[in-house]
Amino acid sequence: MTSLLILFLGAIVVLYYGINKPEGKSLLMTVILLLAALSSLVYDLLTVKNRNVLGWLTEYVPENMLIWNFNSIAFSIVLVLAFLLVLGLFSRNNYIGADLLGLMLFSVCGGMLMTSFSNLIMLFLGIECLSIPLYVLAGSKKSDLASNESAVKYFLMGAFSTAIFLMGCAFLYGGTGSLELESISRATSMITHLGIKSNLIFSGIILLMAGMLFKISAFPFHFWSPDVYDGSPNRTTVFMATVVKIAAFAAFYRLFNEGLGDVKNWWGVTLAVSAGATILFGNIAAIRQSSFKRMLAYSSVAHAGYMLMAILALPQNGFWALLVYLIAYTSSAVSVFYLLDRTSGENSNFSFDNFNGLGKQSKWLSLILIVSMFSMAGIPMTAGFAGKYGLFSSIITSYPWLLYAALIGSAISIAYYFRVFKHAFFSEDGTLVAWKIGTMEWIFLALSLTITLLVGCWPAVITLCK
């Protein structure tokens, strides 16, 4: 709760301070705010009483419809860290004034509500609070038609999915008599033990699932994401690909695996089919792209498919696998988007050719490109491998066919992840203009590289905090 208050009040201060000088010290203030929130969260994590990731079996004390147990604090820490990485890498080249920073902070507040909700009302508020600033951020490059299009598309799709989500909440409330996650969990498990088939709850779960799949852009509801990712300014795209995805997956995991885990036989197969289709579709569509940014958008659809496996897994496996994968995906995606942002320069053309000659220009940037791409493809010694290993092993007994789909998808993904190497290292006609990299950018690039390699070589480092 302290971290949430810090971020919310801080956002107001940042906005107020930036009325006349939008680019003044607002970035520094935001970074300090995030560090304060992060330290408060780490303190909470160290002092949390219940260190069991299976929150339901032991003590469960929600406070003001929010719960700060081990799971939610861990997800919140990853969320704030991801935002810090995004800010550190994208503040130099892109315009991020106090107005955009304020909106991003509000969005992160919504994300923290989503990671720590214990009541469906809180979850709904969190989703809205996360999305509404995002619609504006997607359209924040006002003279660019693609940006306007992506904002309108995202807004209409987001509003539609929220309506479906709310209808699911209403059905679930009708069937269980409560909006509190724990009561829903108890009511649903009691109904299954008694052998009653409640169509009301079942329809509610399916509608809730459709709403959440919209938010994470999984297969039947993925169609908006490539256009929105492609059209938004880079700073917004990376924010959507990392921070928003972390919040949405944390909420999805907590709602379905923790809240509705006892009735998994009702929704498990549906979600598994969606996950398999997402993986295959995302990877196959990504091969055909000539724009690097659009390729990353489709690959993020595919990554959402992998992460859906964690929701199908048993809680003790699923939680750690999801956490490791989120960290792995975030740390590599942030660096790749940074390279995309800087290689494309000032124009809005994001083809693979922009990377021509990167290898000659800087060996450190080449190393970062190679490690990030290896991590996204899931090559051993990088965090992506640790994440995929955890996810795949967590569902191997329950959904073996999903594992085959995921393995085929991973094999396909190597084709397009390694395609950029051809341009970066073996292309003669390098038109790349060297850019100046500030100290702050080096620090954050090194940080994301360290996370990727450390988690890859020693995945147990994540579980140390237990």
Partner 1 sequence: MLLTILGLPPAFLLLSFITILCALYVVTNTNPVYSVLALILAFFSISAHYVLLNAQFLAVVNLIVYAGAIMVLFLFVLMLLNLNKESEPIVKMGWHIGAAVTAGLLLVTLAAALHKSSEQIMRNPAEDIGLVKNLGKVLFTDYLVPFELSGILFLAAMVGAVLLGKKQTNSKENNNYSETSSQ
Residue closer to partner 1 (CB basis): 128 or 182: 128
Binding status of residue 166 toward partner 1 by CB under 8 A: no
Residue closer to partner 1 (CB basis): 103 or 313: 103
CB of 401 to partner 1, least distance (A): 25
CB of 175 to partner 1, least distance (A): 6
CB of 349 to partner 1, least distance (A): 8
Gap between the Cα atoms of 423 and 426, Å rounded: 6
CB of 106 to partner 1, least distance (A): 4
Residue closer to partner 1 (CB basis): 58 or 349: 349
Burial of residue 207 (number of CB atoms within 10 Å: 0-12, 13-18, 19+): buried
Q: Is there a contact between 147 and 233 (Cβ–Cβ < 8 Å)?
A: yes
Sole binder of partner 1 in the list 43, 95, 401, 458 (CB under 8 A)? 95
Sole binder of partner 1 in the list 38, 41, 66, 297 (CB under 8 A)? 66
Instruction: Kindly write out the interface string for residues 405-444 of this chain, putting x where it contacts partner 1 by CB under 8 A and - elsewhere.
Output: ----------------------------------------
Does an H or E element contain 291, and which? none
What's the CA angle centered on 407, arms 266 and 220, to 5 degrees? 45
Stretch that binds partner 1, among 64-72, 303-311, 355-363, 367-375 (CB under 8 A): 64-72
- Distances in whole angstroms, Cα of residue 446 to Cα of each of 39, 70, 156, 435: 21, 28, 38, 17
Sole binder of partner 1 in the list 162, 203, 270, 361 (CB under 8 A)? 203
Q: Which residues pair with 180 in a beta bridge?
A: 119
- Site residues (CB under 8 A) for partner 1, limited to 96-155: 97, 99-100, 102-103, 106-107, 109-110, 113, 119, 121-122, 125, 128-129, 132-133, 135-136, 139-144
Stretch that binds partner 1, among 33-41, 224-232, 292-300, 346-354 (CB under 8 A): 346-354
Q: 3-state SS of 406-426?
A: HHHHHHHHHHHHCHHHHHHHC
Residue whose C-alpha is closest to residue 394's, from 453, 324, 458, 327: 324
Q: Is there a contact between 352 and 340 (Cβ–Cβ < 8 Å)?
A: no
Sole binder of partner 1 in the list 21, 23, 288, 463 (CB under 8 A)? 23
Residue closer to partner 1 (CB basis): 99 or 262: 99
Q: Which residues pair with 119 in a beta bridge?
A: 180
CB of 125 to partner 1, least distance (A): 6
Gap between the Cα atoms of 330 and 336, Å rounded: 10
Within the chain, what is the greatest distance between any pair of CA atoms? Answer: 70
Residue closer to partner 1 (CB basis): 202 or 421: 202
- Read out DSSP for 190-241? HHHHHT---HHHHHHHHHHHHHHHHHHT-GGG-THHHHHHHHS-HHHHHHII
Binding status of residue 393 toward partner 1 by CB under 8 A: no
Residue closer to partner 1 (CB basis): 54 or 132: 132
DSSP 347: S
Q: Which residues bind partner 1 (CB under 8 A)?
A: 8, 12, 15, 22-23, 64-66, 95, 97, 99-100, 102-103, 106-107, 109-110, 113, 119, 121-122, 125, 128-129, 132-133, 135-136, 139-144, 171, 174-178, 198-203, 346-349
